[in-house]
Chain A
Amino acid sequence: MSVNSNVIHETSPATTASKVPPLRLFSWSIRKELWEHRAIYWALLAVGGLVSVGLIYSAFRLPGKIEYLATLSTSERLAAYDLPYSAAAMILMATMVLVACFYCIETLYGERRDRSILFWKSMPVSDPIAVLAKFAIPTIALPTFALCMAIFSQLVMLIASTLMVYVNGLSVSALWALLPISTMPIGLAYFVLAISLWFAPVYAWFMFVSAWAKRATLVWAVAPAIAVIAIEQLTLNTSTLTQVIKSRVVGVASASFTANSDSSGRDSRADLVPDPGKFFASPELWIGLLIAAALLIATIRMRRLRDPI
């Protein structure tokens, strides 16, 4: 069927509008995700704020405890001084992973549910760029933000406890000598990086479910893991897969840090020390990253093909 052809204008691909650089498309896609999911940084800000308040409170109690702390052995004392700092960081990291998981489960499902995917797809942003920008939220944007929050709350703690010690006429230099001031941010940054890499397949799986499921995304996201554990325990009487899942969920610290064996020495700042050599040599990490890549490719395909709900 032909609709009039007497007005033919050249519309060859050669005259396609100039390309917008992929990096620019990527950065606008990330910006858009941050506009949409304001809750992800508010949650971290709120937890970071609460943690900072808690740290300030513990700093106020510090002068009263110094005499007691002095009676402890060196390693115990180091651990005691270190504890509020690492506890604050752990709480923020746990919040970050939780928020990241919810983000991944929601992101591609949400745009199909409210049909806004039809608007996003009317823009010259490819599905790979859109999906990778979404993947950058839990693996890059959130960790960076969580790291800043953790360092911020630790700085608050450091300033507060220094002030308290100073006001009470105690030795500031003695306090600072006990704290791992220079190594802590580096250890934290390493831990944040390890979390991103370790949880990459989990995030990618949740994003795939988000792009694929027609309803009940949360159930689809976690039910397979529960089913695998149940079936293995009930029928095979083994625990291999259970261990794999368990280590993925709670094993990031033991995969990337090593327990400090030298607990008496002057350098024993913490119970766990970063062990990038072990982490980057572990097959578990690389298998996980391969699975993440495969799931991301599947997610991109799903976003291309799935209709709005």
Chain B
Amino acid sequence: MHCIEARGLTKKFGNTLALNNVDLTVAAGRIVGLIGPNGAGKTTLLKAILGLTSFDGELTVLGRDPRTERDVLMRDVCFIADVSVLPTWLRVSQAIDYVEGVHPRFNRATIDAFLAKTSIKRTARIGELSKGMVTQLHLALVMSIEAKLMVLDEPTLGLDVIYRKQFYESLLNDYHDKARTILITTHQIDEIQHVLTDVMFVDQGRVVFSYEADDFESHFFELSAPPGAVNEARALAPMYERKSFDRTVFLYRDVDVETIAALGEIRTPSIEDVFLAVVGNPSRPSQGASA
């Protein structure tokens, strides 16, 4: 059984389609990055998966329907839906006691180790902590839940670069194992690129495109062509092109490497380049709002 399976997932807010007939399958053990512009539907998709919002279509998460079995599902899931949701009146020690009290997969030793690396006082109320500390605490809480599925929506918002790096390292080294699935959205694509096993681009309520991180280098190429080779390069159906000084940069997916190598310099594009090509390309046929 897959960790997440969705068929025809649709969610409307008034006249806006936040999710437009999304089909999605995520196998267990993957670390999936959901990447897309603001308002693409990433958060709505995560909320549907977590049972936080109603929707049309079929969706099973760990074999359960999140709409009706959220509480049972949450025994095996941990998530951060928003970094600033820990209540200000709660004390750090109370937050830990509460999660330990209600969550069957919580491990107190883990959070003790996490908090030892921070300057968070256990007697403090969350309202007295800085924004970054609240995020650290929330991350520590979910990292101490030995869940089957972890969902993180912009988890590192407001954290400095050192802590962000530490967090992703510990996510990968300490938390992740082959049985755990992680679903993550972020705007800082470059920081999670090396962590992900899969990347999904979301735009206008659809998963427009997805690939495995391992396949990335063998599927995507960027060609920097001199003016004389532009027409030839264009004929090979690039996903995207842009001018860079006197050269033209083309982005290809699944193209014969030797053919394009003859036209100019080739290199592996970054996820951001591919993201811009897929999501930011105006020539791409519109797939969302028309349906």
Q: A129 vs B213: C-alpha distance in the bound complex, in angstroms?
A: 42
Shortest CB distance B115–A (Å): 17
Shortest CB distance B48–A (Å): 12
Q: A208 vs B54: C-alpha distance in the bound complex, in angstroms?
A: 19
For A, the interface residue count at a CB cutoff of 8 angstroms equals 44
Task: Report the number of A-B residue pairs with Cβ-Cβ less than 8 Å.
Answer: 147
Contact assessment for A121 and B70 in the assembled complex, using a CB-CB cutoff below 8 Å: yes
Q: A28 vs B89: C-alpha distance in the bound complex, in angstroms?
A: 16
Of all chain B residues, which has the CB nearest A26? Answer: B102
Shortest CB distance A205–B (Å): 24
Contact assessment for A123 and B74 in the assembled complex, using a CB-CB cutoff below 8 Å: yes
Q: A118 vs B79: C-alpha distance in the bound complex, in angstroms?
A: 9
Contact assessment for B102 and A28 in the assembled complex, using a CB-CB cutoff below 8 Å: yes
Shortest CB distance B42–A (Å): 15
Determine the main DSSP class of A at the interface with B: loop
Which of A3, A12, A31, A304 contacts B25, CB < 8 Å? A3
Shortest CB distance A236–B (Å): 39
User: Given that A4-B197, A7-B178, A124-B75 are known contacts, is A114 also in contact with B87, CB under 8 Å in the complex?
Assistant: yes
Shortest CB distance B249–A (Å): 28
Which of A3, A11, A19, A121 contacts B104, CB < 8 Å? A19
A16 contacts chain B at the CB level, 8 A cutoff: yes
Shortest CB distance A5–B (Å): 5
**Sample (23) of A-B pairs whose CB atoms are under 8 Å apart:** A1-B25, A2-B25, A3-B26, A3-B212, A5-B25, A7-B28, A7-B30, A8-B28, A9-B27, A9-B178, A11-B63, A13-B63, A17-B75, A25-B102, A28-B101, A36-B87, A114-B88, A118-B81, A118-B82, A122-B81, A122-B142, A123-B102, A124-B102
Interface residues of A (CB under 8 A from B): 1-13, 16-20, 24-25, 28-29, 31-32, 35-36, 111, 114-119, 121-127, 129, 304-305, 307
Given contacts A8-B1, A16-B72, A114-B87, 7 further A-B contacts (CB under 8 A): A1-B200, A7-B178, A9-B178, A28-B98, A116-B86, A116-B87, A118-B81
